Structure 1
């Protein structure tokens, strides 16, 4: 496994809470956030990057200030979060370099994209504590992964040259002709083998979907070894996510990078509504997650 450098480890410490657990608020979505703010494609198209930036600023102000780190995109959120003094001094900043959406290969596979002009050096220039890349993987379809793994390899090497922390995320997806039941049965294997592929390329911190069960979480931990991994929320409802966080933390996860499950029903084009819901409902959900992390992180420390 690839060990963190001193600089990378310092960046990792900064995205963690006092117990050493990751608790990152994710709001790097663009297209997905537009679908939450407006019902139709026509209305969504009218939502400019400035409006998304204001929404992300509110999420950072009301949630990330309690969590210790925020994950944002380089299109709508920075440098304003820094230059406008929105991000508290003690709040770390991860910048997602993956572009919104994906391209489709001739075979129907998802091809991940990187935001034009964004690399490790630019992340540093924007004040980032580190970066985050997301790639799509289907480890049971070799042809689906070659380009995405090449992109991931290049990005890992770029951040290594800059000696800057990089969080690696991968997502899986249904392929054409596959039923929902067939896909869901494969999720533990897809997460396990996706984890293995990312580690083989030198990933040092992972952000991954819930592997499907406690046993699958334990298997991910076994494969990852000393490499910390955080479970993402994937927009499931709060109670479902709490169960996933508990299963992950009980079985070796190092924390949470949570987005839509916290704030998806708390944001609005009316900023007053957003601010009221973020400061009450979303913060309450965050406290629930933090309590679970604290409970099981302490258990892990005691066992060690």
Structure 2
């Protein structure tokens, strides 16, 4: 059920480096990048999709061109980076299916959404190597997950029909009134529980929050078996993320899909300033991550067989 087909495996190989580890630059955020670019809500509102597209094009041009794969959104970035020749032919393209933001129900549970018109066939039309779906999960609240798990199952079934690679991601979140310390203590169990939900739904490649400890990473790897999981950066600072990557890879992770930890302090509305910061800071950070991955080579066979 969770085994990659030949076509999916080919897509998986393309999002990995030469040592077989997943190495993708994530820049599919919309609202999050607006928050980075402007402090005041009215200033953020004036940042158009085209302006975000400029930022994303520069991340692709100066940073993602140095990696095997980039993850982008179909609202601001794709098809622009393809049509304008910004995305190099050797860089694989994952396309995000999730809409920016979320709704909430009466209990404060997050309800995820798909971007308008996005499905596996659309990802093919846009030139994607594969897709990525992200939903919010609270594994300790079964009633909180019905809507979002239905989205995951819908996407898994859709991509299976198209025989196209799909990366499944989830994030956890605090409930209204939940004590921050109590929530923080629950995070490893929430990540483990959310991983189980995704595996049971048929996920074949996962993008997960850092589980918190070496032991938690090893538990995730044991649960996943032959299903590869990559660690996301969740906006932590770069040095923190390097430590997380080292621990995750040493305990069975298959690679990284890294976003804000690489470029959050390197993007501006001034494109010349963005270029200089990406070249001076983000590219060396990418090299540091790649150096860690090189110490933990993986073979294609490990992605499909125990």
Structure 1-normalised TM-score? 0.97
SS of structure 2 residue aligned to 1:265: coil
Which residue is equivalent to 2:25?
25
- Within 5 Å, which residues of 2 pair with 1:1-304? 2-297=2-297
How far apart are the structure 2 equivalents of 1:62 and 1:30?
19
**1:298, CA displacement in angstroms?**
7.0
SS of structure 2 residue aligned to 1:297: coil
Contact 2:249 2:255 in 1 (8 A): yes
How far apart are the structure 2 equivalents of 1:125 and 1:236?
34
Structure 1 residues 222 and 105 mapped into 2: Cα distance closer, same or farther (>3 Å)?
A: same
Equivalent pairs counted in the alignment come to 301
Q: What is the RMSD computed on CA atoms of the aligned residues?
A: 1.3
Structure 2-normalised TM-score? 0.97
**1:297, CA displacement in angstroms?**
2.7
How far apart are the structure 1 equivalents of 2:16 and 2:75?
24
Query: Which structure 1 residue ranges, 4+ long, deviate > 3 Å from structure 2?
Result: none
How far apart are the structure 2 equivalents of 1:217 and 1:261?
20
- Specify every segment of 5 or more residues in structure 2 that has no aligned partner in the other structure, as ranges: none
How far apart are the structure 1 equivalents of 2:137 and 2:68?
29
Contact 1:11 1:129 in 2 (8 A): yes
**1:83, CA displacement in angstroms?**
0.7
- Specify every segment of 5 or more residues in structure 1 that has no aligned partner in the other structure, as ranges: none
**1:176, CA displacement in angstroms?**
1.2
Structure 1 residues 99 and 181 mapped into 2: Cα distance closer, same or farther (>3 Å)?
A: same
